[in-house]
Structure formats: structure tokens, C-alpha cells
Copies of this chain bind each other. A is one copy, B any other.
Amino acid sequence: MNCFRIGQLAFRSGVGIQTIRYYERRGLLPNPLRSESNYRLYPGNAVGVVRFIKQTQMLGFSLSEIKSLLSLRSMENARCSDVRKRAQAKISQIEEKIKQLETMKQALARLEELCSKGGSVRECPILEALEETGAVRESREEVTA
């Protein structure tokens, strides 16, 4: 059978058993089939889903964001235009993150370069670089004399 019980699923996806049950309660994993003795039975692809959750979490998304991401999977229930809108929103969110990461990366690269040249660095190149490119953005600026 290509069906896992919860222990196998947890092991294969690198999380704890409790975590799987927790994701189920949170609605990130669908209620699985049950065996006669009420054991959860997962199909093979469940492993991918759990790993996806973990990966996506590392990228700064919360479980509820991930839930909404996962809900884009089956479009059958929703109006298609709605799915598109949500997908687009997620895409720009992701693009924003990428841009910020690129900026940080460049700043670090510059730091490294400066460092290997043995130059004494006056001020922080990381923050400077981020400020230049606007990654460290104004949030509630207020004009002060």
C-alpha cells in the first residue's frame, strides 16, 4: 500500500508527530482517511505538503499565510478570478521579499569585499546599503524640526 501512518509521515517529512496533528487542527492538512482502528492514513504526496509548509515557513510566512497559499491548490471551489487575484497578491509579496533579500545579499557582499581589502570600515555597510535602496523603508515618518 502507498499509505503512511502518522509516524512514517512525520519521519519522512522531518517533523514531529504532534506537529502533523497540529497542522491538521490548524487546517493546513486535510483530515486524512482513517483505518478501521481509527489510525490516520496518508497518501504518498502528503510528505511533499508537509515539507512545503516547513520550507515556506523558513521564508517568513506564517501558518495562516501558508494555509491560504495551499488553498490555492484546488481551484474547483472558488471563482477563478478570485484565485488569480490571490495568486497575484502572493506573487508580489514574494517579489518584494526577493528584492529585499537581494539587497541584503549585495550589502553583505560589499562588506566582505571591503573586509578582504583590509580597509577599516567606518560605518555599517549593511544598513547603509539597505537604506540607499529603500529596503529599510519609511513606515510612519513624521516631520520634525
Contacts and interface: CB of A to CB of B under 8 A. Distances in A.
Question: Interface residues of A toward B: which range?
Answer: 35 or more
A71 to B, nearest CB: 10
A97 interface: yes
B94 A104 contact: yes
Interface in A87-126: 87-88, 90-91, 94-95, 97-98, 100-102, 104-105, 108-109, 111-112, 115-116, 118, 120-121, 123-126
Contacts of A69: 126
A36 interface: no
Given A73-B124, A74-B124, A90-B108, 19 more contacts: A8-B144, A12-B142, A13-B139, A14-B139, A52-B127, A52-B136, A57-B60, A59-B101, A59-B104, A69-B126, A70-B126, A72-B126, A84-B116, A94-B101, A94-B104, A97-B101, A98-B101, A98-B102, A98-B105
